[in-house]
Amino acid sequence: MAGYFFFGMGREMDLFAKQDGERTEKLQPLAARMRPSGLDEVVGQDHILGKGKLLRRAIEADRLGSIILYGPPGCGKTSVAEAIAAATRRRFERTSGVLANVAALRALLSAARQRQSSEGVETILFIDEIHHFNKSQQDILLPHVEDGSVTLIGATTHNPFFFINSPLTSRSQVFQLQPLSEEAVMQLVCRSLSDPRGLAGYNVDLDDAALRHLSAVCEGDARRALNALEIAVLTTPPGTDGRVLINRAVIEESVQKKAVVYDHDEDGHHDTVSAFIKSVRGSDPHAAVYWLAKMLYAGEDPRFIARRLVILASEDIGNADPRGLSVAVAAMEAADFVGMPEARIILSQATTYLATAPKSNACYLAIGKALEDVEQGRVLPVPMHLRSASYKGAERLGHKGYQYAHDFEGHYVPQEYIPTSAVYYEPTKEGYEDTIGKRMAYWAELRRKAGAGVPAPKGGEGT
């Protein structure tokens, strides 16, 4: 009887545990319920998980070494980890850089080492948001990764080469995941509407315009798309036919304001600024204004943007359009004086002017070459005739012979200004630099003709 009682109690406990598990699963967000059960359900990362790719081969052979999965939110880092969990014969442990403290981490690592030594069972340790671990916490992982008692899978939205200790990155392969394409997001959304784990029981009709808008507006973030879809379905009453109709208006309301991926001191910031500068340099005002709008929408400091435009005006335009620097400096001062939101107009004017201006990096290259010569030790003495003649005894020291350019025809006189034939500034044929280049060629011809003698001055020698 006692045995029957315990047997029955065990079945009841199993039943209750199963019911609790099912209830917990139903309470999970749609994005969590739709995590892939295997590699074939992972979409959008064929560059690392396509047939024959290194990571897929390692997972399928259960020969995976320590890896770091790096990519934006909602691109599938945790999904890849779950696919690995489903494929591996090793013990799979999960934790998070947000939740785990040092004590919890040490307990996981100690259990893994004990399991390996006593049972011969290897452990894969998945740490989501691993960048939240500080240096000391990351250092705790190192000996266990190094001796193989755990195989680390770290997931991060932050550049691992900046936020994860170099000893860990050097012992791991870094795989960069890309934002999902619109087609990949559409595939996941459609799957969730027909999958029993998802919304199959709600009889949803999602029209094509709504599907396309949802897939586009979420910018490759599958989690955001699925969560918005779930909100739309759960808050939309069914029609008389029992169907839940989701149109574009419902999706727009569910998504609300688009969250721009733009972390102000990390990758989103640097990548967007880079795209902005490269678009201006590449003479595409449409792209430049878009990236400008994204930065402003995300709350970037207008003064930061203006400073970058001032630098670009000299670095990438220079004397091809000398007015570019004036426009950029004026925009910087005006934007600071006016403030947002009107500063956006000023920055747009400067951005479009610089994007459509002729381009030259000749000034940038010139100072680079000259600095390189100075830094490498080729420091040249100032010619005697260029040295100051304004103090007592200068002439006795040989500080004489300078010819005053304004005393000569065209306000130019061929004379040596540096004891080298090095060429630093080479104007292009773009914009005003074409005029500068012709003027420099004219002066060079005068110097060539003056090789046998120096032209006579109009007046006396300058000082």
Mean pLDDT value of segment 415-442: 88
198, two tokens: 């998802």
Residue 256 pLDDT class (50, 70, 90 cuts) = confident
Mean pLDDT of 161-165: 88
Q: What is the mean pLDDT of residues 123-140?
A: 91
Assess whether pLDDT exceeds 50 at residue 182: yes
Q: Is 397 helix (H, G, I), strand (E, B) or coil?
A: coil
pLDDT tens, 103-124?
Answer: 889 999 999 999 998 998 999 9
**Binning pLDDT at 50, 70 and 90, where does residue 162 land?**
confident
Q: Would you say residue 394 has pLDDT above 80?
A: no
Per the CB < 8 A criterion, the answer to whether 319 and 362 are in contact is yes
Tokens 């770091």 sit on residue: 68
268 close to 261: Cβ distance less than 8 angstroms: yes
The 10s digit of each residue's pLDDT in 319-375 is 999 999 999 999 999 998 888 889 999 999 999 999 999 999 999 999 999 898 888
Question: Residues 6 or more apart from 99 whose CB is under 8 A from it?
Answer: none
Q: What pLDDT, on the 0 to 100 scale, is given for residue 380?
A: 79
Mean pLDDT confidence for 438-450: 86
Does the pLDDT of residue 265 top 60, yes or no?
Answer: no
Report whether pLDDT(2) > 50.
no
